[in-house]
Chains A and B, each alone.
Chain A
Amino acid sequence: MTMDNVTFLVVETMNGTETHAIIDKGNNEFTSMLKSEYDRRQAEQSTPNLPA
């Protein structure tokens, strides 16, 4: 699945399968994390803990 510059990649490991979010920043530069971590960061960015 591709959304903007993020690709979700399913990888088989010895302990099962993992879904990774791979963020292509251009110029052959990448940031990658488990999809669960990607979702957590997206949620944090949309509702940052800021002063009232």
Chain B
Amino acid sequence: MTVNRNGVDQGAVSKRTVTAKGNLIVGTANSVVSNLAVGNDGEQIVADSSTSTGLRYQGNFAAGKNKVINGDFGIWQRGTTFSTSAAYTSDRWELIFDGAGATRAITQQTFTPGTAPVAGYEGQYFYRYNQSVAGTTGTYNIVRTKLEDVRTFAGQTVTVSFWAKASVTTSMTSVYLTQNFGSGGSGGVDISLVTSPSFTTSWVRYSYTAAVPSITGKTLGTNTCLELRINYPLNSTFTVDIWGVQMEAGSVATAFQTATGTLQGELAACQRYYYRSTSGVANKWILPMCVSAINGTSAIYAFSLPVTMRTTPSSVDSSTLQLVDGLSGYAVTAITLSADSSPAIAYGTMGVASGITVRYPYSVNSTSASGYIGFSAEL
């Protein structure tokens, strides 16, 4: 140790090196230190030899931290325009409302390249809710997503963040979480994130933190979940856009990342809950297998789902299907999904008015480009 005539250790680091809360003293060369200014909330330090300090703050883009599937609204298996209640819209996002007389539309909107709200993250689509006729007597007007299993974040602090903008400055009703203990379970528990937030006409990232209660003493029924609910204005007109929804542990909103971090992973994550096969072109195959007629009006199918679903699918939907024997087409007039299905295999019947022959195989296609068959295991 070298001490000067005043008794001060000349090798000591001066505390004046740091100038603000969170700053760090870092070496820049042999026996030389400098101040590293603190990064933004949620950022992490990484080694970077190109900087004078050898360190750099950057956003945390790790996959898996965001529990919201399809938070960037990249997946739209069911279509791109929706208006009915208790129906899914963009994958994993459900619209529910009451009241009368309103005209509304949820639509997929495409970002003009370079206009996504995060520099360096080119989102493709965002989620627009337009209520063009106000309606009356509405008491809720909610878009929600359900995170499987009410154990999710139980007893933890969570931060929900998203970007939003509106056609004019708009006061929303609320944003909140609901612990849903499922059928046969304890009553739901609501956790307020914010009441009456105001969204402006520019993309702004909003962030809300709350403590999710413990589930100690609760009864868990079937299909438990943690819901994120965005309650839109009631009985008024509005146009509100959202993108980049994230729910993560802790009290800081970190850089946005999708739940899986990849396009393929995000699609597969969505297909755990809903899978749709559509040809996009009339008279192309809808299912990669043949069905087998069991009589003159009905055929059975057993379809291996591309992603093992959350549970045995609970419903099937279809449009403009037909059974084809190579010469003739027979319009499907009814379809069922049997309880003998499993999370990996959908099994049921397709009915036609008449004309098919028992034990004959038939391929399944659609008479229109928008035809489809879909299986749901949503919560």
A contacts, CB < 8 Å to B:
7, 9, 11, 13-15, 18, 20, 22, 27-34, 37, 40-41, 44-45, 48-52
| Residue in B140, B314, B333, B367 with the greatest tally of chain A CB atoms within 10 Å | B314
The 3 closest A-B pairs by CB, nearest first: A33-B315, A29-B319, A31-B317
Question: Residue of A at shortest CB range from B366?
Answer: A28
The segment out of B176-184, B235-243, B260-268 that lies at the interface is B176-184
Give A33 Cβ to nearest chain B Cβ, in Å.
Answer: 4
- Check if B226 is an interface residue, CB within 8 A of chain A: no
List, in ascending order, chain B residues with CB within 8 A of A45's CB: 85-86
List, in ascending order, chain A residues with CB within 8 A of B333's CB: 28
Report Cα–Cα, A13/B349, bound state, in Å. Answer: 10
Report Cα–Cα, A6/B336, bound state, in Å. Answer: 13
List, in ascending order, chain B residues with CB within 8 A of A34's CB: 314, 337, 339
B314 near A51: Cβ-Cβ < 8 Å: no
Report Cα–Cα, A51/B179, bound state, in Å. Answer: 11
List, in ascending order, chain B residues with CB within 8 A of A29's CB: 317-320
Question: Residue of A at shortest CB range from B85?
Answer: A45
A33 near B316: Cβ-Cβ < 8 Å: yes
A32 near B337: Cβ-Cβ < 8 Å: yes
- Label chain B's interface by main secondary structure: strand
- Check if B43 is an interface residue, CB within 8 A of chain A: no
A48 near B314: Cβ-Cβ < 8 Å: no
Report Cα–Cα, A34/B337, bound state, in Å. Answer: 7
- Given A28-B319, A48-B96, A49-B188: A33 and B86 interface contact (C-beta under 8 Å): no
A27 near B338: Cβ-Cβ < 8 Å: no
A22 near B180: Cβ-Cβ < 8 Å: no
B336 near A27: Cβ-Cβ < 8 Å: no
- Given A30-B334, A31-B315: A40 and B183 interface contact (C-beta under 8 Å): yes
- Given A49-B180, A51-B174: A41 and B86 interface contact (C-beta under 8 Å): yes
A37 near B314: Cβ-Cβ < 8 Å: yes
Question: Residue of A at shortest CB range from B180?
Answer: A49
Report Cα–Cα, A32/B180, bound state, in Å. Answer: 25
A11 near B349: Cβ-Cβ < 8 Å: yes
- Contact residues, B292-322 vs A (CB, 8 A): 314-321
B334 near A9: Cβ-Cβ < 8 Å: yes
List, in ascending order, chain A residues with CB within 8 A of B338's CB: 11, 13, 18
Give B331 Cβ to nearest chain A Cβ, in Å.
Answer: 6
| Residue in B85, B96, B315, B319 with the greatest tally of chain A CB atoms within 10 Å | B315
Instruction: Beyond the given A45-B86, A48-B140, please list 4 additional residue pairs across the A-B interface where CB-CB is below 8 A.
Output: A11-B338, A30-B318, A32-B336, A51-B174
Question: Residue of A at shortest CB range from B188?
Answer: A49
Report Cα–Cα, A27/B6, bound state, in Å. Answer: 93
- Contact residues, B152-199 vs A (CB, 8 A): 174, 176, 178, 180, 183, 188, 190
List, in ascending order, chain B residues with CB within 8 A of A51's CB: 174, 176, 178, 190, 231
List 19 A-B pairs, Cβ < 8 Å.
Answer: A9-B334, A11-B336, A13-B340, A14-B340, A27-B320, A28-B331, A29-B317, A29-B318, A31-B317, A32-B315, A32-B317, A32-B334, A34-B337, A37-B314, A40-B183, A41-B86, A49-B178, A50-B139, A51-B174
Report Cα–Cα, A22/B320, bound state, in Å. Answer: 15
List, in ascending order, chain B residues with CB within 8 A of A48's CB: 96, 140
- Check if B335 is an interface residue, CB within 8 A of chain A: yes
Report Cα–Cα, A34/B86, bound state, in Å. Answer: 18
